Every structure is written in C-alpha cells, then in structure tokens.
Structure 1
Amino acid sequence: MSTAVAVVLLVAVVAYAMFGGADFGAGFWDLTAGGPRRGARPRAVVENSIGPVWEANHVWLIFILVVLWTSFSEAYASITLTLFVPLTIAALGIVLRGVSFAFRKAVVTTGIKRIFGGGFAISSVLVPYCMGAIVGGIASGRVPPGGRAGDPVGSWINPTSVVGGVLAVAAAAYLAAVYLVWDARRMDEPDLAEYFRRRAVASGIVVAVLAAGGAFVLRADAAYLFDGLTSRALPVLIVSTLCGAGALLLLFRGAARGARILALVAVACAVVSWGVAQWPYVLPETLTFAAAAAPSGTLTAVLVAAALAVVVVLPGFVLLYVLDQRGLLPEEGVDDRADHHTRLKESGA
C-alpha cells in the first residue's frame, strides 16, 4: 500500500516539474528579456503563454504536500522542521510571483510596472532554486528521521543542494523556452519563435553540462543517490538522455512540436530516475517509505481520493490546457490601462 501511495506522490512531483517548472522558467526569460522597449514583445509572449494556466499549476504542489503529510507524516515533519528556511522562501516567492504577475498588467506608470515585473521575474528564479535545494538536502541524507529537525543551514546550503537548485532553474528555463517556441508560432510571431528557439538550444546544452558535472558532486556528496542512478535507475536515465538529445536535434532543425514532446519526456524521466534511485527511502538510508507510512486505512483513503481526483479534476486540467493551446481562452486579467492611455493619445482623444 505504501508503495502505491509513493508512486502517486512521484507522479504528482513529475506533473509539477513539467507544468509548474515551465511556468517558473517563463519568468526566467521575462527576467532576461532586456529593457522595457527591447523586452516588450518577448514578455508579451510569456504573458500570453502562462496567463490562463499559471494558477492551476500550483495545484500539483498542494497535492504533493497533502499526500506527504497524510501518508508519510514522520518524513513530512522531518523535512519541514529541517528545511523550513527554503520552504518559507519558496512559499513567499510563489505569493510574490502571483501578486506581481497579476498587478503588473493593471498599473499605469513604467516605474511601478518595473517593480512588479522584477518581483515576478526574480521570484520565478528563486522558487525553483529553493525547490531544487530542498531535493538536494533530502537526497544527500541531510534530513534526519524521527520527525526531528536537522541543520537549518547545512541542510540546503551544500554541494548537492546547490547543484539541485541550479539544475532546477536551468531545466525550468529550458522547458519554458521549448514551450514558448510553439506559443510564438501559434501567435504568428516567427521572429520570436526563432528568438526562443535559440534560447531553448542554449539552455538545453546548459542543462546537459550541469547534469554531467553534477554527477561528480553526487558521487562525493550523495553516494546512495549516485549508486542508484548508475544501477537501478540507469535505464530511465538513459531514456531521459536520449529524449533530451533528440529534443535538441529537433530544435536545431526547427521542429517545435516534436521537440516539445521529447523535452517533456526527458524532464519527466529525469525526475522519475531520482525517485527510482532513492527507492525505497523517503529519507535516504534512514527512513523508508514503508517505515514512515501511515496506517493502511489512511493510505487507502489517500488512494481513493487520488482516484477520485483523476476522474473529477484531471479532465478539467486537460480541457484547460487544450483550450489554452488552441487559443480559445480569453487573455488573463484586465486591459492594461497604460496601453489604453497610449491609444487615446495616439488617436488624439
């Protein structure tokens, strides 16, 4: 029973990495787009791409936390007590990001728009970094079992956490750039499609280099995870590598649709390989999923709730993403008042 719930948890983590990760990555390209004039068009593609779906993507994070808390409470207590600093930063960053994204479109003056834009972009980098650092702290065995607090600093400021954080930011940026190539083409902006294609290729290469270099860090700092990645998780890791290479090849050739699918599979398999490599531990070498599991009645209720969510909630997500990709959803938010004033001036009104 605990294995089934662990699989549900891993699937939710994969979903958050694919959809929420691309959401955060779009903020990275917003941050690096340049000044108000030069970056206006790329930022418009970013807003159009994530506007209808950015709120929905965080449902996966809530689901992950609820399942972990309900099903593996001892591990949940240890993780939150030890890693409360990056968890708090990530939570505040998510709030800041949402507020900034919503209000940037409603304000008039350029200075205020820059403040909200900076909040959105910086938090879009900070949150995935903290998420990767949290994973690094868990994977390297720095979270103690028994619902006890570990080192609040060393648990997330260490070699594995740094690699995990930087790799999370790079992977999110890569996924977002691949998505934005498709969205720019859908918006009939071929020059912007090329703009994001070049960035997708560059960020994909960066991810590959970071992953290769990170292997040496894991070997020295997270031996159990490294051993798992080079043994039981190796087939999944190979699939991730092949799909990533295929996505880069298609991006070089300008095949956005195929590259998007392969990029998704590559990231999903990378996350799955982490889960398989760490198995059967929720906290490596100290606490297994079976030992941390709640009573069977609780696990059964969680599985039933997850099954109901698949039936009731998942179709809504599918419909939302399909409508978004077909351009059938209205643009999120209100009309930009600054743009309205500009149009009035141009018309002489």
Structure 2
Amino acid sequence: MELDLPFIWAGLIAFAVLAYIVLDGFDLGVGILFPFLKNTHDRDIAMNSVAPVWDGNETWLVLGGGGLFAVFPLAYATILPALYAPLTVMLLGLVFRGVSFEFRHRAERSRILWDIGFSGGSLLAAFSQGIALGALVQGIAVDDRAYAGGWWDWLTPFSLITGVALCVGYGLLGSTWLVMKTEGGIAHTARRASWPLAFGTLSLIGAVSLWTPFQDPVYLARWFDWPGVLFSFTVPALVAACAWFLYRGLNEHRDHWPFLSTLGIFVLCFCGIGISFYPTIVPPGITIWEAAGPDESLAFMLVGAAILLPIILAYTGYAYWVFRGKVDPSEGYH
C-alpha cells in the first residue's frame, strides 16, 4: 500500500504546531501576567516556574516552520509574504523575551527594563500569533501559485479579535500554570486572575467560532452540512465539559485541573480549526497535495522525522518529569 506522504506530513506539522501552542502558550501567558504580580519575589518565582522548559518548548516552533518550508514549499512561499509583518513582530517579541530570561536575573538597576522586555515580548508574540492565525483563517489571495494580496491584508477586525483571543487564552494558560506550580500569595493571585481570564477566553472562543464560518462558504458548509454538523455539537459540548472541570478545579483548589482543562480547550479549538481547513493548507484554495514537494523528498525527510521526533518527545517528557511539582522559592534561575 502506497503511503499518502503529504497527508502524513500535514499531520506531523499540525502536531508540531499544536505542541508549540500548548507548551509555549503557558510561558507566554506567564509573561503576559508578569506586570500584575505584586513584587519582585513573585516575579522571580513565576519566571523560575518556566525557566527549565521554555526554550525546549520553542523547539516545536522551529519544527513546524522548518517542516512547512521543507515539505510544503508552495504553502511557505504564499503564507510568508502574506504574513511578513505579524511574523516579524512575533520573532522580535520572542527575541526580547529570550534575552530577558538571561539578563533579568543578573541585572540590578536595569531589572525593570528586562521585566518590560519579558512581558512586552510575550504580549507581542502572542498577539502576533493570533493575528497571523486570523489572517490565515480568513484566507490568503493566491494567483498563479503566488501571493496576490496587499501588504495590509492581514489586518482586519477578524484578525484583531483572534489576536486578542489568543492573548487572553495564553493568559489563562499562564495563570492556571502558576496555580499548579506555585504556592502562597502568587498562587492566590493566579487563581483570582484565572476567573476573569476564563470568562474572557470562553467568550472570545464563542465569538470567533460564530464568526469563522462566515469567512468562507466552505467553512459554513463543513460545519453545518452532514456529517460536519455532528462536530458543531460535539466540539462545543467537549469545550463546555472542559470549562466545567476548569470551574471545579479553581473552586475546589484542585491545582492540576484548571491547567489540564485549559489545555483541553486549546486542543479542541485547534481541532475545530483543522476541521474547517482540511484538506486545504492555504485557505481557500491550496490543498496539502498541491502544496507538497516531490514524494521522494517527503519520504527522505520522513526517515529523519521518525528518528528525531521520538528524541524530542523523550527529552520534553523527561524535562517536565524532572521539574514536576511545586516551585521551590529558594531555587533561582542560573
């Protein structure tokens, strides 16, 4: 039986993007919440909670972007020109954030500047990712296998609301992460912040979900024609179940439940986007098979992915296992 290599690679890249969203999302969320933490001690603990894993989390961004370039060159060549501005801002935000990790703990008089760099870089990166997502969902103009839109096509009311939604959602991931990983005053602050963030996240998910089917007739048909209409009931029901466990976890001080429930909400939203997109990779008209490179190249790279992916997964799992449990306030980032 011949393997459908573009389909397999689409799944691998989708998995890499999802892994990046759920893993780097919470440490971007911690950065977004940074200004609302009361004092330097709480900010130190918050940064220490993500310090052992944040750089490993961004491995998935490299894998997703590199995989898109290598496996789906047509998609890469059309998406990048359409989203140069938000993606450039995202990378600058990640740079400022990464530098702040290294400099903040060694600076004294300039620490406030690195606090701003960490928080501002996190917010910029999250907002830019949301705008890029919204611009991709609303569709990219392509003519003769090349980007045919304008410089500002990515900036629309829909992309702005997806940018805000992702910032609020990342904030919820960050606050529930701190609930799970910290104790005392900072955990209390994070738990209190999780309530409005949860309400905002669910409200914005509802708004974006209702708006998305009207971005393209294909989305509308896919969600409301048979058998797609089944997903229109199943996905919201599962999101509601995750929201219920999030509520119970916050209300009953079950520290792991809020974070895991929020991860579930993100995974379901990602699945919803996948249902809307498939089989296109550049909406509205370029499919994964049209965008894929030669089968020989895909097969060659699949061998490398089969070796590297288990290693990355093992390293990631080991890192989270070693640094499991609550953060020790006496430990620092070195």
Do the structures match in fold with TM over 0.5?
yes
**Cα separation, 2, equivalents of 1:133 and 1:236:** 23
Which letter does structure 1 place at the counterpart of 2:271? Answer: V
Contact 1:82 1:148 in 2 (8 A): yes
Contact 1:78 1:144 in 2 (8 A): yes
Q: Secondary structure at the match of 1:277?
A: helix
The number of equivalent residue pairs is: 323
**Cα separation, 2, equivalents of 1:211 and 1:272:** 13
Pair 1:136–1:148, CA change in 2 (3 A): same
Aligned to 2:188: 194
Q: Secondary structure at the match of 2:323?
A: helix
Which letter does structure 2 place at the counterpart of 1:218? Answer: T
Q: Secondary structure at the match of 1:313?
A: helix
Which blocks of at least 5 consecutive residues in structure 1 are unaligned? 335-349
**Cα separation, 2, equivalents of 1:202 and 1:141:** 31
**Cα separation, 1, equivalents of 2:95 and 2:10:** 28
Aligned to 2:43: 43
Contact 1:135 1:161 in 2 (8 A): yes
Q: Secondary structure at the match of 2:147?
A: coil
Shift of 1:333: 4.0
**Cα separation, 2, equivalents of 1:129 and 1:227:** 29
Q: Secondary structure at the match of 2:14?
A: helix
**Cα separation, 1, equivalents of 2:116 and 2:288:** 40
Any idea what the Cα deviations from partners look like across 1:89-128, whole Å, max 9, x if unmatched? 111111111112211111121xx11111101101111101
Which letter does structure 1 place at the counterpart of 2:15? Answer: V
Contact 2:242 2:262 in 1 (8 A): yes
Contact 1:137 1:143 in 2 (8 A): no
**Cα separation, 2, equivalents of 1:204 and 1:12:** 25
Aligned to 2:89: 89
**Cα separation, 2, equivalents of 1:243 and 1:162:** 26
Deviates more, 1:231-240 or 1:40-49: 231-240
Shift of 1:331: 5.2
Deviates more, 1:283-292 or 1:253-262: 253-262
Pair 1:194–1:326, CA change in 2 (3 A): closer
Would you say 1:120 and 2:118 are equivalent positions? yes
Pair 1:321–1:242, CA change in 2 (3 A): same
Pair 1:175–1:108, CA change in 2 (3 A): same
Q: Which runs of 4+ in 1 moved over 6 A?
A: 327-330
**Cα separation, 2, equivalents of 1:76 and 1:179:** 33
Pair 1:227–1:127, CA change in 2 (3 A): farther
Shift of 1:229: 4.7
Deviates more, 1:135-144 or 1:51-60: 135-144
Pair 1:327–1:304, CA change in 2 (3 A): farther
Contact 2:131 2:160 in 1 (8 A): yes
**Cα separation, 2, equivalents of 1:23 and 1:196:** 14
Which letter does structure 2 place at the counterpart of 1:60? Answer: W
Q: Secondary structure at the match of 1:282?
A: strand
Deviates more, 1:232-241 or 1:266-275: 232-241
Shift of 1:77: 0.7
Q: Work out which of the residue numbers 200, 208, 215 in structure 2 matches 1:206.
A: 200
Which letter does structure 2 place at the counterpart of 1:319? Answer: Y
Shift of 1:218: 2.3
Aligned to 2:67: 67
Any idea what the Cα deviations from partners look like across 1:288-329, whole Å, max 9, x if unmatched? 111111111222223222221233222111111111114699
- Which runs of structure 2 are paired with 1:133-144 in the superposition (5 Å)? 133-144=131-142
Which blocks of at least 5 consecutive residues in structure 2 are unaligned? none
